[in-house]
Amino acid sequence: MEQEGFDSEKGRRGALIVVEGLDRAGKSSQCEQLLHNLQTLGHQVRYIRFPDRNTPIGKLIDGYLRGQSHLDDHSIHLLFSANRWEVAPAIQELIANGVTVIVDRYSYSGAVYSAAKRNPNLSIQWAWQPEVGLPRPDLCLFLSISPIEAAKRGGFGLERYETDTMQKRVRDLFQSLLELPHNDEICVIDAGRQFNEVAQDILEPVLECMKNVDSIGPLRRLGPWSFIPSGESST
């Protein structure tokens, strides 16, 4: 009989785990901790983050975020999306080879930050459109932090979007996303607590998801805005 544990993972696909949230919610530190925890348990894991500033498209995004260039709102939005599309084949391959992929920000940040600009010609529905067909996360952990707790963590950096007004709008839009029907793959984590408590609260649903990934079936694709979690299978 097959033993429960790492050996029984052979032949199992990896899980696509996304970590989302506002700036200063602690996403990157928690992703690194999660990577460490999963590797310590013997799992094969990769950590990637969006924007990936190292690709040619990522360099354009980086220049824009640092205020070194000006781009039309739609144009920069599509570059953020293109930045995910260029990495998507590598994600799919890793997952197919049994590697779990942790992703720091994904399509949810993409839609929400662009829509928060309140450009009358850039609705959240428009913003979601280029995401349709990308690998769909098996689990999305939303790190939630109150504005008061965020303020305690120090000031913003100097990048675009790092202002109180933008962050408030982003928070409200993330909230509307969490209220969409059928979003059961999104798990809200109270990130305003001690680092280790938050890390533990993240690890548990991730391990559960990795264990049950066979019951989800092959990696799926993101569907249209009103049915984000109901995409078709990608294979």
**Sheet order of strands, 100-104 included:** 45-49, 100-104, 16-21, 139-144, 186-190
Burial level of 203, CB count in 10 A (0-12/13-18/19+)? middle
User: Residues 30, 33, 92, 109: which binds ligand NYM (CB under 6 A)?
Assistant: 109
Query: 110 touches which of Mg ion, ligand NYM, none (CB within 5 to 8 A by kind)?
Result: ligand NYM
Q: In the range 16-45, which residues lie near Mg ion by CB under 5 A?
A: 23
Q: How far is the CB of 2 from Mg ion (least distance, A)?
A: 43
Distance, first Cα to last Cα, the chain: 30
Q: For residue 200, which amino acid is it?
A: Q
User: Residues 51, 130, 135, 223: which binds ligand NYM (CB under 6 A)?
Assistant: 51
Contact 16, 104 (CB under 8 A): no
Query: 80 touches which of ligand NYM, Mg ion, none (CB within 5 to 8 A by kind)?
Result: ligand NYM
d(CA 120, CA 33): 40
Token couple for 19 = 């970590």
Q: Phi and psi for 223 in degrees, rounded to 5?
A: -100, -175
Token couple for 108 = 């949810």
d(CA 172, CA 158): 22
Q: Does 105 bind ligand NYM (CB under 6 A)?
A: yes
Contact 169, 116 (CB under 8 A): yes
User: Residues 31, 38, 50, 186: which binds ligand NYM (CB under 6 A)?
Assistant: 50
Residue 145 or 213: the one with the smaller Cβ distance to ligand NYM is 145
Q: In the range 149-208, which residues lie near Mg ion by CB under 5 A?
A: none
Binding mask 57-86 for ligand NYM (x = CB under 6 A): --------x--------------x------
Q: In the range 145-174, which residues lie near ligand NYM by CB under 6 A?
A: 161
Whether omega before 51 lies within 30 degrees of 0, making that bond cis, reads yes
Binding mask 5-34 for ligand NYM (x = CB under 6 A): ------------------x-----------
Instruction: Say which residue the tokens 């696909």 belong to.
Output: 13
Q: How far is the CB of 24 from ligand NYM (least distance, A)?
A: 9
Q: How far is the CB of 222 from Mg ion (least distance, A)?
A: 23
Footprint of ligand NYM (CB under 6 A): 23, 50-51, 65, 80, 105, 109-110, 113, 161
